[in-house]
Amino acid sequence: MNRAAATGSLALALASALTLTACGGSGGADVAADAKQTLTVWAMGTEGEKLGDLAEEYEKKNSNITVKVTPIGWDVAHQKLVAAAAAGKLPDVVQMGGSYLGEFADMGVLEPVDTKTFKENNFFPAAWQQATYDGTTYGVPWYVDTRVLFYRTDLADKADIKKAPATMAELQAAAAAYQKKAGAKWGLSIQPRGLDTVQSFYQFLYSAGGAILDDDGKAVVNSDAAVKALENYGSYFSKGISDKGVQPGYDVTKDFNTGDVAMFFGGPWMTGLLDENYPDLKGKWAVAPVPADKTSGSMAGGSSLAISADSDHKAAAKEFVASLTDTAGQTDWFDRTNDLPANTAAWDSGELATDPTLQIWRKQMESAQSTPSQPKLTEITSKVDTAIESVTQGKSSAKDALDKAQSEIESLVQ
């Protein structure tokens, strides 16, 4: 997902209301799945815009069901979700970004997933973990997102780079060669500051064997591995290989097209952007797995589908979610959106199984990692954003920055 800025103050202001209106559900009788009824669904971004067409087809096959889809922009999603939860008016089915789920599960407004219907081993491990909070799963993985390395193959020839960098050491060497030999202004574009800088840093952090929180939810962001990763990340800016003046919202594809940027880490939607906006660039770029340090590690993103604890339509909602997350539904959704399926069986046939580039995404997703769900996850990652910025702007050492973040995060974890 493209996570919007957290509106934590609003969540805190409404916390007391939630304890009165949302915890534990309404307790009302659930309408049978085959009864005539209307399902309300909120979905964000592109998914919200495209889900309406699929809902119409679902209605044709299920004449007793009307599906009312409300598209919501990611920039206002958190605020709307908090307000609806406080009022006990969440929709029957709601898209949950990975950074949101722990917060809303902790509020008591999400229905636990029926794990007899939705089985953990049908989904990528990181996607299932992202939908789980405090040992209970509250969302069914809908689509996944990870990062891989995009690089200019034509400029690699000029830079005398024979293959995609496979290690972190090779990555920096390649970035420098792109500058010195192929005329790139920046060898590698990585985010220096601002909201969600951590998403750019994850590839370095996970590859080095580091994490923000361990599996038990304990803060470990100042581990030796994490410090090493941030030192490596910061070196790109201190050596002038990456641009420390990049602003949040920067569109790297424009400079990738001109050759001013030779490499960047990007998500699956970047492929479509490059193909649609820069067709003349086709054949001049490729993707590769994240270069390895201890391992080739990348972030796991995406969204799950959750059912409101207050819904009176849980049975029908479960059937609708099942239609979106089973093998056929996932394959169909990929064809409509190019969202990567969370259900691993969808990767075993068709284009997903035969396209070599898509197989790179699958391989990366199999080893992708996510930070354990926490109610204050957006606040936790913002502390890491700040630490990264202090290093990339030359204001702090990696160890000092992460020691400070560690202290702050320890007071936020539950």
Q: What is the CATH number of domain 8-145+300-366?
A: 3.40.190.10
Domain boundaries, the chain: 8-145+300-366, 148-298+376-410
Please report, as a single letter, which amino acid is at residue 264.
F
Q: What is the mean pLDDT of residues 127-136?
A: 96
Q: Provide the Cα torsion 247, 250, 252, 257; round to 10°.
A: -110
Tokens matching residue 71: 């598209």
Q: Name which of 69, 82, 74 is nearest 41 in CA terms.
A: 69
**pLDDT number for residue 38:** 98
The yes-or-no answer to whether 8-145+300-366 and 148-298+376-410 have a common fold is yes
Integer CA distances (angstroms), 393 to 157, 177, 235, 240, 403, in order: 32, 23, 11, 12, 17
Per-residue pLDDT at 71 exceeds 60: yes
**Identity at 360, one-letter amino acid code:** I
Query: Please, are residues 93 and 375 in contact by the beta-carbon 8 Å criterion?
Result: no
Strands 93-97 and 37-44: parallel
pLDDT more than 70, % of the chain: 93
Residue 361 tokens read as 């995404």
pLDDT-based confidence at 12, cuts 50/70/90? very low
Reported confidence tier of residue 414, pLDDT bands at 50, 70, 90: confident
| pLDDT confidence tier of residue 407, bands split at 50, 70 and 90 | very high
Confidence class for position 29, pLDDT limits 50, 70, 90: low
Question: Can you name the CATH fold of 148-298+376-410?
Answer: D-Maltodextrin-Binding Protein; domain 2 (3.40.190)
Over 90: is that where the pLDDT of 178 sits?
Answer: yes
| Each residue's pLDDT tens digit, 299-341 | 999 999 999 999 999 999 999 999 999 999 999 999 999 999 9
How many helices (H) does the chain have, and how many strands (E)? 18, 11
The answer on pLDDT for 133 being more than 50 is yes
Q: Are the CB atoms for 138 and 115 separated by under 8 Å?
A: no
| AA identity, residue 163 | K
pTM assigned to the model = 0.89
Give the rounded distance of the alpha carbon of 30 from its chain centre: 33
